[in-house]
Amino acid sequence: MAPPAKGRKPSAAKPRKDPAKPRKTPAAKPRTAPSPQSGQRSPLAALLRALIMLVAFAAMVAFAAVLARVTLTPSPASVPISHSNLHPGASLRLYLNQPSVREAVKQIGGNVALGVPFGVLLPILVPRARGLLWVLLATGAVMLLVELVQGSMVQGRSFDIDDVILNTAGSLLGYLLLGRRISRAVHPRRRHWWQRRREPANTV
């Protein structure tokens, strides 16, 4: 038997593949389900949103006209009895001490009802001001301006801080009953990028 050639090493036998052994298939990567908020809104939803905004704007214009007529119309017959009130609660006690319950309900309920449209319409028209604090501040500022105009420029009208308090309370009532719900339906909150990264991916 001839000796093996120098410089050549004997080749090792290659292991045979077992045909019965199953082959490993690469694991499929899980697909993430698209988030409903990340996608674009449908044309029908955008049209409905625009319609609600248009109705809310028309309602706010109508409310502004009613507010101006109720609060800024001169009342010469009320000149002898009109007086300003800078002490919170003074007019409320006067309303409650009246012998006629109907007159007390008219005065208090009317001022509360006058602020309800602010709490309903303002969060719809101004999405950034849909928080409770913003609605109360905006209502208080507008009604305070109305009272100042009443007391200084309108005959037979006077400034009353209790009217501002009652109007703001009505705005709070309207916001809690309708304004918050309608605003969230029309203007859903968008998730920030850091909120999307923290959420685990949904697998399909």
Residue ranges with strand state E in 23-182: none
pLDDT at 9 over 60: no
The pTM (predicted TM-score) of the whole model is 0.70
pLDDT at 135 over 70: yes
**Cα–Cα dist 120/113, whole Å:** 12
Collapse the DSSP code of 32 into the 3-class scheme (helix H, G, I; strand E, B; otherwise coil) and give the result: strand
Amino acid at 130: R
| pLDDT for the residue 2 | 52
In terms of pLDDT, which residue wins out, 198 or 87? 87
**Cα–Cα dist 87/84, whole Å:** 9
In terms of pLDDT, which residue wins out, 127 or 2? 127
Q: How far is CA 4 from CA 1, 12, 14, 121, in A?
A: 9, 15, 20, 99
The full set of domain ranges for the chain reads 43-71+86-189
Banded model confidence at residue 147, pLDDT cuts 50, 70, 90: very high
Residue 54's Cβ-count burial label (10 Å; 0-12, 13-18, 19+) is exposed
Give Cβ neighbours of residue 19 (< 8 Å, ≥ 6 apart): none
| pLDDT for the residue 108 | 92
pLDDT digits (tens, 9 = 90+) for 17-58: 555 555 555 555 555 544 444 445 678 888 888 899 899 999
Least confident of 44-48, 88-92, 117-121, 164-168: 44-48
Banded model confidence at residue 142, pLDDT cuts 50, 70, 90: very high
| pLDDT for the residue 30 | 54
Using the Cα atoms of residue 177, residue 195, residue 38 and residue 125 in order, give the sign of their dihedral: positive
| pLDDT for the residue 1 | 52
